Structure 1
């Protein structure tokens, strides 16, 4: 069976957000998951070619003034039209590092992914409030969930 590609596009402006992204990658790259190749890039590094090559995407962003990070918005600005037709139905998941409630961030990302006709595989993971080490476990589980779905052929 050919390997499927899981693209992780995560904004990592701090040590904590880098740790969240690393946890997602760790979960997605679990040794029992054999047929999934994990590609992780920042929103500034990722482009349309990465989305076109992906079988699923995990998006990670900070909550910035009640909105997604400017970096993730830039990613969407550059990739939206080049992938619009070819990647309808693309499975995706979202995690948000939110100092407040993450509502505006979630709404903004869901508005764009709805326009792209991408399919959410689960509710967004919102790591809200003060830092908690449990965020790392939750992000690892999210990465594993999406990668297992790809590996099993259900995504």
Structure 2
């Protein structure tokens, strides 16, 4: 059994809906051999990352940067994981009120330092809220879990 860890900051009703959509996709009934664990960034730690086979990160864009909660997760996990999780498949979604560029760049820099590998391009959900964001985030969760289930990741 493979394990997908979803670490997503969800401070609002819509961002909670995004986290739920990612989880719904990851728990698709056709995916048989993937356990899905969902944790807020302030509750997730190095032991959770060590125990997973892939990680899906979710964040809001806060002042052109990732959420403080996701930054805290990385601050607590970076050095303990630096030599232990190289090659970990990862994906990211960003709920961006503006363009998400600074947020994406910041997370990509940390992921590069950890030597994790992108399973898919980061998903940036820009501008005013759209219900289509839910479908795109659900697909992201589905594809990541399906990649684990199929032995591609």
TM-superposition CA deviations, 1:110-143 (whole Å, max 9, x none): 0000000000011111010000000000000000
| Match of residue 60 from structure 1 | 58
Off by >3 Å, runs of 4+ in structure 1: none
Q: TM-score, normalised by structure 1?
A: 0.98
Deviation at 1:86, TM superposition (A): 1.1
Secondary structure of 1:25's counterpart equals helix
In the alignment of these two chains, the number of paired residues is 153
How many Å separate the matches in 1 of 2:148 and 2:65? 29
Distance 2:54 2:118 in 1: 10
CA distance in 2, matches of 1:56, 1:20: 18
Structure 2 partner of 1:127: 125
What are the Cα deviations for residues 82-123 of structure 1, in whole angstroms up to 9, with x where unaligned?
111110000000000000000000000000000000000111
Taking only aligned residues, the RMSD between alpha carbons, in angstroms, comes to: 0.4
- Deviation (angstroms), 1:25: 0.1
Structure 1: give runs of 5+ residues left out of the alignment.
Answer: none
**Normalization by structure 2: what TM-score?**
0.99
Where does residue 151 of structure 1 map in the other structure?
149
